[in-house]
Amino acid sequence: MILQISMTDKYTDNTIKTSLKQHHLFSRLTSLQLGRVIRYSKIQHLDESANLFNQGETVAGFYMVLSGKMKLFRISPDGQEKIIEIIKTGEVFAEALMFTDQTDYPVSAAALAETEVLKIDAKKFKHMLWDSPDTCFLLLGAMSVRLRGLVEEIDTLTLHSGTCRVATYLIHEMPENTDRFELDTAKNVIAARLSIKPETFSRIIKNLKNEGVLTIEGNTVCIYDIAGLKEHSII
């Protein structure tokens, strides 16, 4: 279920401005411009598993995750779900559609947990960008980085083994200066993101455990041999 939230229910203009400022897309906007963004926006609350929009629906805006987590996905002709990207708190998605002639969303979006998003009117924001060349360049840079990341992902998914994908994912998720951390995404979702079956993911983790590389108990990951994990990865 999706609910509209009033700015005064939980979020004030100042808290929204603070969240926006932390993202590079909005970091160089003035306080006046941020105020305009807020006026162009609505806050939506999604229950876990609720769809925000479906592939093929008309584009109505782009989004920033204020809390929670979203998945972007497509359904294959045989009914399999392919997770394209996992969007976490503070991240923005669907912004690139402002600069294309595409009128429909190319993917679906659903909440992986109880989530709140800021929906921004894409047409009004695009018009505002004419007043902020710096923001235009930041947006183009962010889109280039995302495109490069997707190209690298295609390379990983097509040229490397399941073990390599899992090892690379865990290294990216591992915080600096620690060998123990919590997975913040369900294992079956991680498996879908890496284009492997959940049972394959479990078998890979078991093999890495038998090698003395790591253990995963519940959502807690303990890395015992980071060098060994890197040998399995593309890092």
One-letter amino acid at 137 equals F
Over its length of 235 residues, how does the chain's per-residue pLDDT go in tens digits? 776 776 656 788 889 999 998 887 788 778 888 888 899 899 999 999 999 999 999 988 999 999 999 999 998 888 788 898 899 999 999 987 877 767 899 999 999 999 999 999 988 888 877 777 777 777 677 767 766 766 666 666 565 789 999 999 999 899 988 899 999 899 999 998 888 999 999 999 999 999 999 999 999 999 999 999 999 988 7
Q: Catalogue all structural domains in the chain, each as residue range(s) with its CATH number.
A: 2-146 (2.60.120.10), 160-232 (1.10.10.10)
| Predicted local confidence at residue 218, as pLDDT | 92
* Beta partners for residue 39, in sequence order: none
Give the CA distances from residue 170 to residues 27, 116, 134, 199, 214, in Å, rounded to whole numbers and listed in that order: 30, 26, 35, 17, 10
Residue owning tokens 């959940």: 198
pTM of the model: 0.79
